[in-house]
């Protein structure tokens, strides 16, 4: 690596995120040296954002840095894991210091909120893309998997899905919604709170309907979702109207909310936990798991065209 590149890394990436005692060697050597907590399982995930596919050249660099980490923290949340370490592989066509500084500040701010330290990475030239790896911890037996839901369990979603897609497609119309796309809030605290309560969990990256279907397929059951029960934001309802808001929530994607199943015996404890801790955000009961495969979406009890058979894996 050229000296200038090493300087670049030192300037922008040497001390991102929260300093952690379990990082023995971070950025600067050939590899990071990490001290995992005894008695914990490691949880690892990686996600790549490619310009033109997962973000736009016109998106603020700060948002790209935020989202590159957020999508991975969302996967940690969906596992009920506590994130600890991140690695960043950054591919750029040219070195634009101002862009890199903004990118790094977006990454840094979110990493600090979640106590995550950037411990290494790679910097190379090519078409703009960002790959982030996050590693975290979960006690044995406590991870939230996709396959534990059963017929009769309630289906919940966090936050207000649909805001992000509306904000991305209509950037001028409502700045509040656009910020939900640019700076999604990964539900890490909620994921931790769902340990021992949720029977299955997935994060909503591709759209609530599609991701709920993945959870159902993994669990070997189906679900019935009531569109009128979707927790929609006032901003989305005002911008899009009720029907379109429901469509955004069901099909939009990039919400980075959690969709999870809760056995009947755990619902009261869930609602109490959420009521006591504003940091967990809101959760909404949107339906229940059923024996019959596939997703049935009703509006006021009447079956809608959003419904999907459980057998057509290539629908949409």
Residue ranges that bind Mg ion, judged by CB under 5 A: 30
Query: Considering beta carbons, is residue 78 or 88 the nearer one to ligand ADP?
Result: 88
Query: Considering beta carbons, is residue 30 or 312 the nearer one to Mg ion?
Result: 30
CB of 260 to ligand ADP, least distance (A): 33
Binding of residue 9 to ligand ADP (CB under 6 A): yes
x-or-dash string of contact with ligand ADP, 73-102, rule CB under 6 A: ---------------x-x------------
Q: Which of 13, 55, 103, 256 binds ligand ADP (CB under 6 A)?
A: 13
Q: Which residue is nearest to Mg ion (CB)?
A: 30
Binding of residue 200 to ligand ADP (CB under 6 A): no
Candidates 133, 129, 120; CA nearest to 45 is 133
Tokens of 20: 């952690």
Query: Considering beta carbons, is residue 120 or 210 the nearer one to ligand ADP?
Result: 120
Binding of residue 1 to ligand ADP (CB under 6 A): yes
Binding of residue 312 to ligand ADP (CB under 6 A): no
Q: Which of 17, 23, 27, 55 binds ligand ADP (CB under 6 A)?
A: 27
Q: What is the 3-state secondary structure (H, E, C) of the chain?
A: CCHHHHHHHHHHHCCCECCCCCEEECECECCCEECCCCCCEEEEEEEEEEECCCECCCCCHHHHHHHHHHHHHHHHHHHCCEEEEEEEEEEECCCCHHHHHHHHHHHHHHHHHCCCEEEEEEEEECCCEEEEEEEEEECCCCCCCCCCCCCCCEEEEECCCCHHHHHHHCCCCCHHHHHHHHCCCCCHHHHHHCCCCCCEEEECCCCHHHHHHHHHHHHCCEEEEEHHHCCCCHHHHHHHCHHHHHHHHHHCCCCCCEEEEECHHHHHHHHHHHHHCHHHCCEEEEEEEECCCCEEEEECCEECCCCECCCCCCCC
Q: Who's near 148: CB < 8 A, 6+ residues apart?
A: 198, 199, 200, 219, 261
Q: Which of 28-36, 109-117, 249-257, 306-314 is the region at the interface with ligand ADP (rule: CB under 6 A)?
A: 28-36
x-or-dash string of contact with ligand ADP, 112-151, rule CB under 6 A: ------x-xxxx----------------------------
Binding of residue 240 to ligand ADP (CB under 6 A): no
Q: Which of 7, 19, 28, 175 binds ligand ADP (CB under 6 A)?
A: 28
Q: Which of 3, 21, 30, 94 binds ligand ADP (CB under 6 A)?
A: 30
Q: Are 287 and 228 in contact (CB under 8 A)?
A: no
Query: Considering beta carbons, is residue 120 or 207 the nearer one to ligand ADP?
Result: 120
CB of 26 to ligand ADP, least distance (A): 7
Query: Considering beta carbons, is residue 32 or 157 the nearer one to Mg ion?
Result: 32
Q: Which residues bind ligand ADP (CB under 6 A)?
A: 1, 9, 13, 27-30, 88, 90, 118, 120-123
């Amino acid at each position: 690596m050229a000296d200038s590149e090493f300087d670049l890394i030192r300037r922008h990436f040497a001390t991102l995120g929260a300093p952690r005692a379990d990082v023995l060697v971070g950025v600067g050597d050939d590899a990071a040296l990490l001290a995992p907590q005894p008695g914990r399982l490691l949880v690892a995930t990686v996600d790549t954002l490619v310009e033109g596919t997962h973000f736009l050249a016109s998106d603020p660099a700060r948002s790209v840095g935020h989202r590159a980490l957020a999508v991975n923290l969302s996967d940690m949340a969906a596992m009920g894991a506590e994130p600890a370490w991140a690695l960043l592989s950054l591919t750029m066509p040219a070195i634009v210091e101002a862009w890199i500084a903004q990118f790094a500040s977006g990454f840094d701010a979110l990493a600090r909120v979640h106590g995550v330290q950037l411990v290494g990475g790679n910097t190379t030239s090519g078409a703009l893309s960002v790959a982030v790896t996050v590693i975290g911890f979960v006690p044995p037996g406590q991870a939230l998997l996709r396959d534990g839901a059963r017929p009769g369990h309630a289906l919940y979603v966090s936050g207000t899905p649909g805001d992000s897609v509306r904000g991305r497609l209509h950037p001028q119309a409502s700045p509040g919604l656009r910020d939900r796309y640019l700076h999604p809030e990964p539900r890490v605290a909620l994921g931790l709170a769902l340990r021992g309560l949720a029977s299955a969990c997935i994060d909503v990256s591709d759209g609530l309907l599609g991701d709920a279907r993945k959870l159902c397929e993994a669990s070997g059951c189906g679900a019935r979702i009531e569109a009128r029960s979707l927790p929609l934001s006032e901003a989305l309802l005002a911008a899009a109207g009720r029907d379109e808001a429901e469509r955004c929530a069901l099909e939009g994607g990039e919400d980075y909310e959690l969709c999870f199943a809760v056995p009947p015996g755990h619902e009261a404890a869930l609602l109490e936990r959420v009521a006591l801790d504003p940091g967990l955000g809101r959760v909404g009961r949107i339906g229940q798991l059923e024996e019959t495969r596939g997703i049935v979406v009703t509006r006021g009890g009447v079956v809608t065209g959003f419904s999907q058979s459980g057998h057509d894996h290539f629908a949409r």
